[in-house]
Structure formats: structure tokens, C-alpha cells
Structure 1
Amino acid sequence: MEERCGRRTEYVAKGSDSSAEKKITKNDLLQKALKDREQFLKQNPRLQSYQAEIDRLLDNSGNSQGRMAVLATLMQGKLLELQKELCTLTAVLANDANADG
């Protein structure tokens, strides 16, 4: 249950049948997300330093609006990196195609 502006909110998860309902708090969702993240990082240790950098930036970002701006900037940066790699791969493929034909 979460209190916002004097009102309480609850998150409800439905089971496989519609009669089974389980109340899930925002804290429960957060704890599950953190647990899932830790499991993911154990499976992908090369990403731990990147996650540490994200955590550091978010810790210094202030309010939720600042956190969203940081996340948008990080995602945009990764998108630009992917676009650069795509251009490189496209050039390599074009050169290979020209060499073969």
C-alpha cells in the first residue's frame, strides 16, 4: 500500500484464475526488481561496472525528474553507440559484398 496525497493505493496481481488475488505493495515490487537485477548482474558480471555508474549518476540526480533526465541521456548515449556500430558493420558488409562480386 502506498500513501500519496493522503490516499492509499494498492497493487493487485491476479493469479491464473480470476478469483485468486494477491495484494502487492510498491515495496514488494521494488524488492523483486532489485533481486532480479542482482541475479542479472551475477549472470552478466561485465555489466556490473556500468550498473555502478548508473547508480552513481542516479544517486546524484536529485528528484525523480532529474533521474528520468539521467536515464534518457544514458539511453540516448547507448543508442548513438549502437548507431555507430551499425554504420561500421554496414560498411564492412558493403566492402565484403563489393570484394565478392
Structure 2
Amino acid sequence: MAAFIAIFSSPIVFIEQLPGTEDRSGESMPEYLNRGNKALHQQTTTANERLQKALAERERFLDRQPHLRVYQAEIDRVLDNSGNLEGRMAVLGMLLQGKLLDMQKELYKLAKILQQNSNSQ
């Protein structure tokens, strides 16, 4: 396995291969890095493309589950007023926590019903 030294100066990272640690494939460092960059470039999409894909997927989901549109509208309203990314994450955490508590209450009710049914048999 090749060993490399990373030199951190400013936001740019320079990587230098140590002598005698060439990769088994025989590629030079620029060839090795270029191969990785090409593969990475082919796999990545822009943030806007990912956003558009996620929004389209969400819309398809809401088309299949129209009763959830009201809840999605509430999420969108709250997130629009949450400010920065930290605020948005805090809001999402609170919304998820609230729904988890609701689910916990329903599970408790179900467990109680199941216990009553098993005791009566």
C-alpha cells in the first residue's frame, strides 16, 4: 500500500507520495488521483439536481398518501421560519420527537389492550 504525506497549507491539501511506496498497480500519483477524480465526478450530481430529485420523490409520495399533505405543509411552514441550518435541524428533531412520543403513547395503549385480552383468556 502506498504511503502519502498530506501537507495542509491554506484550504488546499497537497499530497506527496513517499519514495518507495508506489502503488502496486504501478500508477504514478497524478494517474492515481486522476483515476479517482474521474470516478468521483461520474458518481456525483450537483446539489440542485439532488434537491430536484428529492422534491419530485416527495411529491410522488404525497400523491400516494394525500392525507399527509397537511402535515407536510406544517413542516414546510415551520422550517421556513426556522432560520439557519442549525435551526432547521432543531425543528426537525422536535417534530420527530413529538411524533415518536405519539407513537409511544399508542404502543402503550396497544400493549394494555393485548394484556387485557391475554388475561381474559
Task: Provide the secondary structure at the position in 1 that maps to 2:103.
Answer: helix
Amino acid aligned to 1:69: A
For 1:67, the aligned partner's letter is: R
Tell me the alpha carbon deviations over residues 19-57 of structure 1, each in whole angstroms, 9 at most, x when there is no partner: xx3541000000000000000000000000000000000
Identity of aligned residues (%): 54
Root-mean-square deviation over aligned CA pairs: 1.7
Distance 1:23 1:43 in 2: 29
Gaps of 5+ in 1: 1-5, 8-17
Q: 2:63 aligns with which of 25, 42, 49?
A: 42
1:77 pairs with one of 98, 101, 107: 98
Structure of greater Rg: 2
Alignment partner of 1:56 is 2:82: no
Output one character per residue of 1:56-101: Cα deviation in whole Å (capped at 9) or x when no partner.
000000001000000000000000001000100000000000011x
CA distance in 1, matches of 2:53, 2:82: 23
Structure 1 runs of 4+ aligned residues shifted over 3 Å read none
Q: For structure 2, list consecutive stretches of 5 or more residues without a partner in the other structure.
A: 1-10, 13-38
Give 3-state SS (helix, strand or coil) of 2:82's partner. coil
Aligned residues: 83
Distance of 2:59 and 2:116 partners within structure 1 = 42
In 1, the alpha carbon distance for the partners of 2:45 and 2:120 equals 60
